[in-house]
Amino acid sequence: MVRVGLQISATLENIDKLETDADYAFFFKLTCSNCGETSDKWHDIIESERVQQDTRNSVGFNFYMKCKMCGRENSMDVVEKSSVPYTADDAGSFKTIVIFDCRGVEPVEFSPRTGWKVQSAENGQSFEDVDLSEDDWVEYDQKNNNSVGVYEFASKFIKLKK
Ligand code: ZN
């Protein structure tokens, strides 16, 4: 088993924190570590969802797939309590926001899409279902009368030692 951290970087305008919750769907392209196959399809991994629950494994997994090429059974889980917000202090640099236990499969590409949460600075407005598909997001905070934004969103993966 390998542990992989998802790191993000962004510029934040008048934002205290940017975060996901347990219902957020992480969309990944995955590579099978057994045969090296990378699927063209995006796969979604949601912490609050469990699949493939059976007598062998009553808790199931957050994600499960059988590799189309080699037939191996692969799975992934969000490491419990590994999710942390990306804050104003982190802006402009990469930070690990979530960690995955990867069994036989590893994420190679991340698509941020929608479902992010934003808390504006100075106790301003909070926003749900923030869409980062375009790597940029801008809104108007009516409590503080200023604009808020996430710009230059970028992501990468790091392998973590156990
Ligand atoms: Zn495979």
CB 155 within 8 A of CB 7: yes
CA 133–ligand 1 middle distance (angstroms): 29
Using CA atoms of 31, 162, 58, 47 in order, give the dihedral in degrees to the nearest 10. -60
Residue 121 has pLDDT above 90, yes or no: yes
CA 91–ligand 1 middle distance (angstroms): 37
* Per-residue pLDDT tens digits for 23-63: 999 999 999 999 999 988 999 999 999 998 888 888 999 99
Other Cβ atoms within 10 Å of 124 Cβ, number: 19
Distance between CA 143 and CA 83 in Å, rounded? 28
Tokens matching residue 28: 């990944």
* Residue 68: Cβ-neighbour burial (10 angstroms; 0-12, 13-18, 19+): exposed
CA 73–ligand 1 middle distance (angstroms): 8
Q: Number of H helices and number of E strands within the chain?
A: 0, 13
Which pLDDT value is given to residue 162? 65
Which pLDDT value is given to residue 58? 86
Average of per-residue pLDDT across 114-125: 97
* Per-residue pLDDT tens digits for 83-94: 999 999 999 999
CA 77–ligand 1 middle distance (angstroms): 18
CA 101–ligand 1 middle distance (angstroms): 18
CA 3–ligand 1 middle distance (angstroms): 19
Which pLDDT value is given to residue 54? 85
CA 48–ligand 1 middle distance (angstroms): 26
- As a whole number, the mean pLDDT across the chain is 96
